[in-house]
């Protein structure tokens, strides 16, 4: 009998810890951070040793991990996106295409760069639909930001082909997919620039932090100038000569960089464990007729901390979700689950309302903008439909074989009950 109806729940032990990143903290993080304190050098551009600061080491590691020529450490993932956009020469008058399902920071970064975000549909991969991207291109489009949501690689072959044909810049938002790959290529290293976040919710963390990778020396030089309003003053050798302009202060501290270095050394191990746990669960439920698994463009490259499947409609998804939770497996529907998730465009209030910090000067009403982007809450019906009937379960690197078996058993139990009650309802209608 279902736990909801008084039966024994499949699982009574707690499910996974809330974070992947901090669960890995051990002696290594402590010694890396203490090493910085002992050196009494917490500012990356201070005096001697700029070349081998912790931040420089972190940049070197990500150049190598993503097979990129340049890297720039910054203080957040949002800052990484803004720096990459400004670095690519994007600004007032330009449109940048973003998916309707991504953390609000992706759209906010476009606005901070003074450009206009254009919101497009996702598909059953829960990432940007390449066809929707192509349809949304206007004479003002300069760039596209595919987002590898929940560690799932985007359909990069299709997106890159369209972008190359239409001469658009591709900035990969890899904030949620550090350690993932697509057809053997590291995520973040496929587009013109890749942006990472090291905030606690991500695969690894430095508390706060972010990083841009690129093969374009001009993009790197401009991003560097933007990330520190006096970068040339510190004696940093620019990757190529450019004219300076005003930037913000997005520098990364040495403490963050040291923590990021300790954590980044663990990514591949964490991702390998996540993948084997997810594979176990997927194999245990793939044959179920009542549910459809999220399509993953390259399952081998999936970071694999998120398991998503779709029910035929929102009502069934909510019922399924509740029954599964009662069996002891925490899970959620993504849309219409009772809170305004800032990963779904309908909850991006200041974007949809075209609101800036001041009313008179926004990217939409600035004189250089000749486009006519319109937003409304029904603009991406497929995105809302998919997210409204999706069930998501968090996978963690600490899951044992037995833990995975519990999820499989609980899903099968609930699916069997749902199939039975659907059959019952159908019989009644005859
Ligand atoms: C977290 C996140 C960001 C922003 O990263 P911060 O470090 O929080 O600024 C950007 N894009 C996506 C998809 C994210 O999940």
The 10s digit of each residue's pLDDT in 127-185 is 999 999 999 999 999 999 999 999 999 999 999 999 999 999 999 999 999 999 999 99
pLDDT tens digits along 62-110: 999 999 999 999 999 999 999 999 999 999 999 999 999 999 999 999 9
pLDDT of residue 46: 87
- 409: DSSP letter: H
Structural domain includes residue 376: no
Q: How far is CA 186 from CA 65, 172, 211, in A?
A: 7, 11, 15
Q: Find, among 156, 135, 143, the residue nearest to 116 by Cα.
A: 143
Catalytic residue numbers? 202
Is there a contact between 205 and 22 (Cβ–Cβ < 8 Å)? yes
What is the distance in A from the centroid of ligand 1 to the CA of 77?
Answer: 5
- 207: DSSP letter: B
Structural domain includes residue 286: no
Point out the ligand 1 atom lying closest to the alpha carbon of residue 147.
Answer: 13
What is the distance in A from the centroid of ligand 1 to the CA of 126?
Answer: 17
Query: Looking at the predicted structure, is the pLDDT value of residue 361 above 90?
Result: no
- Classified as helix, coil or strand, 258 is helix
Q: How far is CA 222 from CA 39, 146, 261, 356, in A?
A: 30, 22, 25, 25
For ligand 1, atom 1: residue with the closest CA:
175
For the chain, the domain total comes to 1
What is the distance in A from the centroid of ligand 1 to the CA of 247?
Answer: 20
| DSSP per-residue letters across 328-387 | T---EESSSSSS--TTBGGG-HHHHTT--SSSS--TTTSTT--------TTS-HHHHHHH
Element housing 120 (H / E) = strand 116-120
Query: 108 CB less than 6 Å from ligand 1?
Result: no
Q: 426 pLDDT band (50/70/90 cuts)?
A: confident
CATH number at residue 115: 3.40.640.10
pLDDT of residue 51: 86
Structural domain includes residue 373: no
pLDDT of residue 422: 85
Point out the ligand 1 atom lying closest to the alpha carbon of residue 148.
Answer: 13
pLDDT of residue 202: 97
pLDDT of residue 31: 98
Query: 175 CB less than 6 Å from ligand 1?
Result: yes
pLDDT tens digits along 227-280: 998 888 887 888 888 889 999 999 999 999 999 999 999 999 999 999 999 999
- Give dist(CA 343, CA 14) in Å, integer: 26
Structural domain includes residue 337: no
Query: 103 CB less than 6 Å from ligand 1?
Result: yes
For residue 120, what are the domain limits?
Answer: 24-266
pLDDT of residue 423: 84
Structural domain includes residue 219: yes
pLDDT of residue 314: 95
Point out the ligand 1 atom lying closest to the alpha carbon of residue 149.
Answer: 13
Q: Which residue has the tokens 């069997």?
A: 416
Query: Average pLDDT of the chain?
Result: 95
Q: 335 pLDDT band (50/70/90 cuts)?
A: confident
Structural domain includes residue 414: no
Mean pLDDT of 362-385: 96
What is the distance in A from the centroid of ligand 1 to the CA of 385?
Answer: 24
| DSSP per-residue letters across 210-254 | EEEEES-HHHHHHHHHHTBTTGGGGTPPPSS--------B-PPPH
Query: 147 CB less than 6 Å from ligand 1?
Result: yes
Query: 146 CB less than 6 Å from ligand 1?
Result: no
pLDDT of residue 56: 97
Mutate which of 79, 85, 98, 105 for ligand 1 pocket (most atoms within 8 A of beta carbon): 105
Q: Find, among 147, 153, 88, the residue nearest to 120 by Cα.
A: 147
Query: Looking at the predicted structure, is the pLDDT value of residue 430 above 90?
Result: no
Which strands make up the sheet holding 332-333, listed edge to edge? 292-293, 306-310, 390-394, 332-333
For ligand 1, atom 5: residue with the closest CA:
77
């Amino acid at each position: 009998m279902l736990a909801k109806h008084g039966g024994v729940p499949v699982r009574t032990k707690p499910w996974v810890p809330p974070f992947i990143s901090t669960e890995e903290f051990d002696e290594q993080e402590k010694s890396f951070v203490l090493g910085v304190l002992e050196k009494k050098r917490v500012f990356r551009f201070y005096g001697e040793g700029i070349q081998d600061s912790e931040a420089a080491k972190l940049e070197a590691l990500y150049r190598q991990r993503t097979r990129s020529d340049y890297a720039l450490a910054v203080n957040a993932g949002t800052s990484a996106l803004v720096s990459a956009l400004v670095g690519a020469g994007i600004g007032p008058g330009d449109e940048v295409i973003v998916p309707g399902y991504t953390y609000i920071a992706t759209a906010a970064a476009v606005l901070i760069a003074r450009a206009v975000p254009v919101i497009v549909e996702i598909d059953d991969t829960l990432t940007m639909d390449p066809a929707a991207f192509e349809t949304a291109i206007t004479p003002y489009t300069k760039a596209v930001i595919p987002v590898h949501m929940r560690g799932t690689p985007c359909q990069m072959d299709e997106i890159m082909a369209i972008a190359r044909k239409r001469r658009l810049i591709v900035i990969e938002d890899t904030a949620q997919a550090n350690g993932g790959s697509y057809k053997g290529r590291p995520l973040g290293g496929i587009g013109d620039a890749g942006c990472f976040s090291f905030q606690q919710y991500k695969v690894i963390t430095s508390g706060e932090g972010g990083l841009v990778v690129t093969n374009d020396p001009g993009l790197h030089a401009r991003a560097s100038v933007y990330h520190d309003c006096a970068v040339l003053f510190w004696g940093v050798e620019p990757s190529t000569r450019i004219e300076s302009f005003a930037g913000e202060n997005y520098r990364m501290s040495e403490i963050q960089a040291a923590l990021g270095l300790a954590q980044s050394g663990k990514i591949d191990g964490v991702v390998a464990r996540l993948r084997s746990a997810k594979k176990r669960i997927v194999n245990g439920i793939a044959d179920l007729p009542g549910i459809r698994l999220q399509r993953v463009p390259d399952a081998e490259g999936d970071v694999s901390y998120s398991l998503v499947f779709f029910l035929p409609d929102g009502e069934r998804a909510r019922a399924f979700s509740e029954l599964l939770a009662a069996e002891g497996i925490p899970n959620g529907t993504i849309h219409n689950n009772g809170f305004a998730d800032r990963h779904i465009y309908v909850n991006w209030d200041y974007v949809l309302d075209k609101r800036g910090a001041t009313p008179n000067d926004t990217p939409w009403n600035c004189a250089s903008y000749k486009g006519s982007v319109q937003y409304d809450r029904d603009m991406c019906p497929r995105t809302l439909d998919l997210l409204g009937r999706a069930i998501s379960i968090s996978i963690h690197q600490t899951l044992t074989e037995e833990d995975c078996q519990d999820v499989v058993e609980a899903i099968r139990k609930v699916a069997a009950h749902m199939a039975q009650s659907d059959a019952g309802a159908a019989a009644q209608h005859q």
